[in-house]
Chain A
Amino acid sequence: QVQLQQSGPGLVKPSQTLSLTCGISGDSVSSNSAAWNWIRQSPSRGLEWLGRTYHRSKWYNDYAVSVKSRITINPDTSKNQFSLQVNSVTPEDTAVYYCARVSYRGGNNWFDSWGQGTLVTVSS
């Protein structure tokens, strides 16, 4: 049973950096059959996929174009976790942020495990 535990501050000032961490139990961030994602949800934007990191002989990242210039997702193999950083935040980055695992089978993939969610408010 995979469990994802999120941590990080719920309040960030405009222009600063949003940082969240997702701890993994029951799987490995280095797994060759999973990918580790960040997704956010807000009333204005709905569910928005932000990006992923995954290991297939080497590490790969993919990011949504809407945040690509401001986002970094990094694995931490020593702690079996992965992190999200979003730079230069504005109030439009206010949302509930989720980490989620993607599993793969038969050419398809899906989000089968989710963190508990973190409400991040961007405000001074």
Chain B
Amino acid sequence: DIQMTQSPSSQSASVGDRVTITCRASQSISNSLNWYQQKPGKAPKLLIYAASSLQSGVPSSFSGSGSGTDFTLTISSLQPEDFATYFCQQSYSVPFTFGPGTKVDIK
């Protein structure tokens, strides 16, 4: 199975801050990497697919980059509604696997 790691595990930030979350795969997964946002009591929501493509309806303040084993999710200017937990997920091969998550909370 492909193992996914994320850093940091949590981050305190303020509204307007630039936030960067890193995801690493245990082997090369090309650009088969997706990012999700999850709020308490809700299902994950797709933000970025194929490493850098923005899902319809997602604000352009979110962006993704990377290929191979190293990937980044960036929020250019954090908004109040962006405080949540973020997960990466590899779709390169079954079993699909997720990172452990990065919780972004209010500083």
Contacts and interface: CB of A to CB of B under 8 A. Distances in A.
Interface of A: 37, 46-49, 52, 62, 64-65, 98, 100, 102, 105-106, 108-112, 114-117
A111 B44 CA distance: 9
B98 A110 contact: no
Q: How large is the interface on B (under 10, 10 to 19, 20 to 34, 35 or more residues)?
A: 20 to 34
Interface in B20-48: 31-32, 34, 36, 42-46
6 interchain residue pairs of minimum CB distance: A114-B43, A47-B98, A110-B49, A108-B50, A49-B96, A110-B34
Interface string B83-96: 00001010100111
A105 B100 CA distance: 26
A11 B91 CA distance: 31
Contacts of B50: 105-106, 108, 110
A47 B50 CA distance: 19
Interface of B: 1, 31-32, 34, 36, 42-46, 49-50, 55, 87, 89, 91, 94-98, 100-101
B95 A111 contact: no
A46 B101 contact: yes
Contacts, number: 55
Given A106-B50, A110-B34, A111-B89, A49 B44 contact: no
Given A110-B89, A112-B55, 5 more contacts: A46-B98, A108-B32, A108-B50, A112-B49, A117-B42
Nearest to B48: A110
Nearest to A119: B41
A108 B48 CA distance: 12
B8 to A, nearest CB: 16
A21 to B, nearest CB: 16
5 contacts: A49-B98, A62-B94, A112-B46, A112-B49, A114-B43
A111 B94 contact: no
A111 B50 CA distance: 11
Contacts of A47: 44, 87, 89, 98, 101
A62 B49 CA distance: 22
